[in-house]
Amino acid sequence: CEAGEKSEMTSKTYLSLFPSDLATYGRDAKALLKELQSQNERMFLVTFLVLNTGRTEQELENNVFQASSIAQKHNCNLFRLDFQQEQGLMSSLPLADCQIEIQRGLTTSSTAIFIPFTTQELYQSGKESLYYGLNALSNNLIMVDRKKLKNPNGLILGTPGSGKSFSAKREIANAFLVTDDDIIINDPEGEYSPLVNRLKGQVIKISPNSTQFVNPMDINANYSEEDNPLSLKADFILSLCELVVGGKEGLLPVEKTVIDRCVHLIYRKYFANPCPENMPILEDLYNALLQQDEKEAHHVATALEIYVKGSLNLFNHRTNVNVNNRIVCYDIKELGKQMKKLGMLIVQDQVWGRVTANRSSGKSTRYYMDEMHLLLKEEQTAAYSVEIWKRFRKWGGIPTGLTQNVKDLLSSREVENIFENSDMIIMLNQAAGDRQILAKQLNISPHQLSYVTHSGEGEGLLFFGNVILPFVDRFPTDLELYRIMTTKLGEVSEGAQK
Ligand SMILES: Nc1ncnc2c1ncn2[C@@H]1O[C@H](COP(=O)(O)OP(=O)(O)OP(=O)(O)O)[C@@H](O)[C@H]1O
Ligand SMILES: [Mg+2]
């Protein structure tokens, strides 16, 4: 210990003997080393040349004088390259040949000051990066992978005809070819079928005259995180009954109790022997309700009757389509207003079933909701959508909502969560009122706003994590892919004739 103290003393004495300049340089060098080691800085050797020209010698002298006085104003001295002017000229030309050996070491951030033409880029080189257009400032490709975001939830916003559905279809086609993810589409306008059919996917037409059915009672063993998938399913069936029976106040407590009791009864057979023939249907619920003593149970059963025995019985069948195809599109265009609500709720439940099944096999599921304002208008489906935005990430779900009006997304505190929890937003042309709302909510500068003001189809701003980039995506109109993705009336009928 004593020896240690002694050597410290000696080094202190030596330090005091050093010239003070040396100590200062030493400190600077240490600071520089620290920057290089810990702050991701690099060291560049920089030659900085200013080329002066003039038509006459006098003009040249004047220009040189002016340049050096500007430099002086900023505390710099320009030195004339006496006897090296030819090399100086050659080095100033864009020949990538520096013949002047006057160099200075600068760190990355100091060097960057001399390159004022920087643009932000979005290019992720991973295996699952998808193309989202060209950077409007630099024309470089924008390639990103949503799975690398904190949460992969996405929104596509824009006025009618700005290219929302087109961007979604583009991402779908891309994801289909590049990734292994499953894709599900909620299609209230019936416009995705040409694309899905071309990719050999399954279009499920849900309408009163369709012969394709999905069973709202479908369940799989992974349906819930907890041990008992049935309690979550009972929750869904309660929402469904609420839509069917509920007046303004929703279901009465007694009604809820009897429905829950019946749900547990009707799944008994299936869980004892889980084969498709044992999957219950709505009629089983109806019959079980009739067998209960409470008059409330009969009330619910009567309300369900039209969906079981009456003209709206399209949900009273076992699923007869391949809902496990890699790409599934639920076309609900032909459902009437009343049935649409029910249809949308059932589709969302089907999606949940698929996402949970996929998670156990380690697969991601992309879910596209076109015309999302329809979902947000109804209490039950809005609540379900909010839930999707909160929980899908953990289940490997990648939801994308498409809507025209930002106002729909800000209608309530709950729905606003969807907006706030979307790390990717493709913002296409915006209406004046929406622009102001967005500028405030997302902190967009007036310059950036100009990219979503009267912009063309497929042009706008891309928000990806904390990066905002203007992008342009002009899809060639002579490709087959364009013909199956367009919604322009003339082009669609032309495509159909071919
Ligand atoms: N990136 C693009 N490149 C070329 N054409 C495009 C692009 N995006 C959109 N279009 C054209 O614009 C048309 C309308 O686009 P789209 O159907 O996506 O509109 P939308 O925003 O979904 O409208 P709506 O709200 O009415 O559903 C497309 O049919 C296509 O012809
Ligand atoms: Mg659309």
Beta bridge mates, 400: 154, 368
pLDDT digits (tens, 9 = 90+) for 163-197: 999 999 999 999 999 999 999 999 999 999 999 99
Residues 259 and 290 in one domain: yes
* CB-CB contact of 202 with 488 (8 Å): no
Q: What pLDDT shows up at residue 118?
A: 67
The Cα-based distances of 432 to 175, 401, 454, 472 in angstroms read 33, 21, 10, 21
Residues 405 and 376 in one domain: yes
> Quick check: CB of 80 below 6 Å from ligand 1?
no
Residues 254 and 369 in one domain: no
Of residues 384 and 144, which shows the higher confidence score?
144
* CB-CB contact of 341 with 243 (8 Å): yes
Specify if 43 maps to a domain.
yes
pLDDT digits (tens, 9 = 90+) for 299-335: 999 999 999 998 888 999 999 999 889 999 999 999 9
pLDDT digits (tens, 9 = 90+) for 417-450: 898 899 999 999 999 888 988 888 888 888 899 9
Specify if 8 maps to a domain.
no
Beta-carbon contacts of residue 177 (< 8 Å; ≥ 6 apart): none
| Residue 150, domain CATH | 3.40.50.300
Q: Which atom of ligand 1 is nearest to the CA of 488?
A: 29
| Beta-strand relationship, 327-331 and 397-403 | unpaired
Single-letter amino acid code for the residue at 76:
C
> Quick check: CB of 158 below 6 Å from ligand 1?
yes
Distance 162 CA to ligand 2 centre (A): 8
Sheet with 130-135: strands ordered across: 141-144, 130-135, 467-472, 459-464, 424-427, 154-157, 397-403, 365-369, 182-187, 327-331, 202-205
Beta-carbon contacts of residue 384 (< 8 Å; ≥ 6 apart): 239, 345, 348, 375
Smallest-distance ligand from the CA of 167: 1
Specify if 3 maps to a domain.
no
pLDDT digits (tens, 9 = 90+) for 369-381: 999 998 888 888 8
Distance 458 CA to ligand 2 centre (A): 12
**pLDDT score of 143 more than 50:** yes
In the structure, ligand 2 is a single-atom ion and the residues with CB under 5 Å from it are 165
> Quick check: CB of 165 below 6 Å from ligand 1?
yes
Q: What pLDDT shows up at residue 243?
A: 85
Pocket-testing residue among 165, 402, 405, 430, ligand 1, by greatest number of atoms within 8 A of Cβ: 165
Residues 74 and 193 in one domain: no
Specify if 349 maps to a domain.
yes
> Quick check: CB of 171 below 6 Å from ligand 1?
no
Distance 370 CA to ligand 2 centre (A): 7
**pLDDT score of 52 more than 60:** yes
Residue nearest to atom 1 of ligand 1 (CA): 458
The Cα-based distances of 205 to 196, 233, 307, 336 in angstroms read 12, 24, 18, 13
Tokens of 373: 């304002």
Residues 379 and 477 in one domain: yes
The DSSP call for residue 452 is: G
Range of the domain at 60: 24-112
Specify if 4 maps to a domain.
no
Residues 372 and 244 in one domain: no
Residues 342 and 480 in one domain: yes
Number of CB atoms found within 10 A of residue 65's CB: 11
Residues 395 and 272 in one domain: no
Residues 375 and 498 in one domain: yes
- Count of structural domains, the chain: 3
Tell me which of 287, 318, 349 is where a domain ends: 318
| Residue 302, domain CATH | 1.10.8
Residues 30 and 53 in one domain: yes
* CB-CB contact of 140 with 121 (8 Å): yes
Distance 481 CA to ligand 1 centre (A): 13
Distance 348 CA to ligand 1 centre (A): 25
Specify if 396 maps to a domain.
yes
Tell me which of 112, 144, 174 is where a domain ends: 112
> Quick check: CB of 403 below 6 Å from ligand 1?
no
Distance 138 CA to ligand 1 centre (A): 24
Tell me which of 318, 337, 371 is where a domain ends: 318
Specify if 12 maps to a domain.
no
Smallest-distance ligand from the CA of 132: 1
Q: How confident is the model at residue 1 (pLDDT cuts 50, 70, 90)?
A: very low
Distance 189 CA to ligand 2 centre (A): 8
Residues 341 and 358 in one domain: yes
Pocket-testing residue among 487, 488, 493, ligand 1, by greatest number of atoms within 8 A of Cβ: 487
> Quick check: CB of 164 below 6 Å from ligand 1?
yes
Q: Which atom of ligand 1 is nearest to the CA of 189?
A: 27
- Label residue 389 exposed, middle or buried (CB < 10 Å: 0-12, 13-18, 19+): buried
Please tell me the total number of residues recorded for the chain in this structure.
Answer: 498
> Quick check: CB of 473 below 6 Å from ligand 1?
yes
Buried b (16+ CB within 10 A) or exposed e, 214-251: bbbbbbeebbbeeeebbebbbebbbbbbbbbbbeeebb
Q: What pLDDT shows up at residue 280?
A: 94
Report the candidate in 202, 199, 229, 201 with the shortest Cα–Cα distance to residue 213: 202
Residues 92 and 146 in one domain: no
Specify if 47 maps to a domain.
yes
